Amino acid sequence: MAEPGSNRTPETGAFFQRDRQWHPPAFTPGYKSSVLRSPQKALLSFDNTLSELTGPVFGHAMIGERDNDLIHNFAKPGESAIGERIIVHGRVLDERGVGVPGALLEFWQANAGGRYRHKKDGYLAPLDPNFGGCGRTLTGEDGAYAFRTVRPGPYPWPNGPNDWRPAHIHFSLFGHGFAQRLITQMYFEGDPLIWRCPIVGGIRDKAAVEALIAALDMQSTIPMDALAYKFDIVLRGRRSTLFENRPEGN
């Protein structure tokens, strides 16, 4: 099925193999929840079939006007969420450096005090009556996206006796194939808690951690209103089908 209103040729090449040394491994004992939830046997490797190459499409029709504005999308009329107002923007690219258009981004976060609107979160910081903590948007033709929110607070969590999560925003991404599906987290430049976090610490390569740290972007701020952070996200790239292996003569 072609995307309605799109004249892009759908790509059908297999995705590049995932670099599992770059991602955190399943078993990261510093993050205790991983101990009993990590598969221990070898994964079954195979080149993508149609089941992994294809993926659902999400249209603009489902996105509401305020879905990308966490300052207002849960607030009472005329009110807004409390906290440091920020814009988060960037591009969704694939491993070829090409923008991924029409990608669905969903994001969620704690409020400015570090408290989630969730019945399992018992942190003593108060809920903000005007902050829900979820948002979503679709990337444009060049893979660009933006949303407005408040900077989430760091929060303590039961892991070690005194572990704190750095300020972070959770991101979920849908690219064009189900095998590109990704959930990650964005951290903020300069936060000293990043390097003490057992969840971040599951990532072995310092450059990989840095790929999750958004830079303060003074060029994209709104003076007297909001600071800005730039966060690019990279999804798996796919092979070109130009020379797809097929029996000679076809």
Partner 1 sequence: MAQPLDRPKESPSQTAGPYVHIGLTPNFCGIGGVYENDLGSAMVNERTKGERIELRIRVLDGTGTPLKDALIEIWQADADGLYNSPAELRGTADPNFHGWGRCPTDMETGLCIFETIKPGRVPFRDGRLMAPHITLWIVARGINLGLHTRLYFSDEEKANAEDPILARIEHRVRVPTLIAEREGNAYVFDVHLQGEKETVFFDS
Give, as ranges, the residues between 157 and 196 that touch partner 1 (CB under 8 A). 170, 172, 176-179, 181-185
Q: Is residue 100 a contact partner of residue 60, using CB atoms and an 8 Å limit? A: no
7 in contact with partner 1 (CB under 8 A) = no
Taking CB under 8 A as the criterion, the residue among 68, 71, 73, 143 binding partner 1 is 73
* Rounded Cα–Cα distance for residues 71 and 136 (Å): 13
User: By CB under 8 A, how many residues form the interface with partner 1?
Assistant: 92
Beta-carbon contacts of 195 under 8 Å, excluding residues fewer than 6 positions away, are 209
Taking CB under 8 A as the criterion, the residue among 36, 61, 218, 224 binding partner 1 is 36
156 in contact with partner 1 (CB under 8 A) = no
Q: What's the burial of 107, exposed, middle or buried (CB within 10 Å: 0-12/13-18/19+)?
A: buried
71 in contact with partner 1 (CB under 8 A) = no
Active site residue 31: no
Q: Is residue 13 a contact partner of residue 94, using CB atoms and an 8 Å limit? A: no
| CA-based nearest residue to 200, from 214, 180, 181, 186 | 186
Give the footprint of partner 1 on residues 219-238 (CB under 8 A).
232-237
Shortest distance (Å) from residue 188 CB to partner 1: 14
Active site residue 181: no
Return the structure tokens found at 128: 């903000």
Q: Which is nearer to partner 1, 44 or 224 (CB)?
A: 44
Shortest distance (Å) from residue 234 CB to partner 1: 5
Q: What's the burial of 242, exposed, middle or buried (CB within 10 Å: 0-12/13-18/19+)?
A: exposed
Shortest distance (Å) from residue 223 CB to partner 1: 29
Shortest distance (Å) from residue 91 CB to partner 1: 10
**Backbone dihedral region for residue 21 (phi beyond 0: left; psi -120 to 50: alpha; all else: beta):** alpha
Shortest distance (Å) from residue 245 CB to partner 1: 9
| CA-based nearest residue to 149, from 220, 69, 240, 217 | 69
Catalytic residue among 117, 170, 181, 239: 170
Active site residue 170: yes
Binding mask 84-113 for partner 1 (x = CB under 8 A): ---------x-xxx--------xxx-----
Q: Which is nearer to partner 1, 66 or 227 (CB)?
A: 66
Active site residue 168: yes
Compute the half-sphere exposure of residue 242: CA atoms within 13 Å on the CB side of its CA: 1
Q: Is residue 186 a contact partner of residue 214, using CB atoms and an 8 Å limit? A: yes
Catalytic residue among 31, 116, 187, 229: 116
Q: Which residues are catalytic?
A: 116, 155, 165, 168, 170
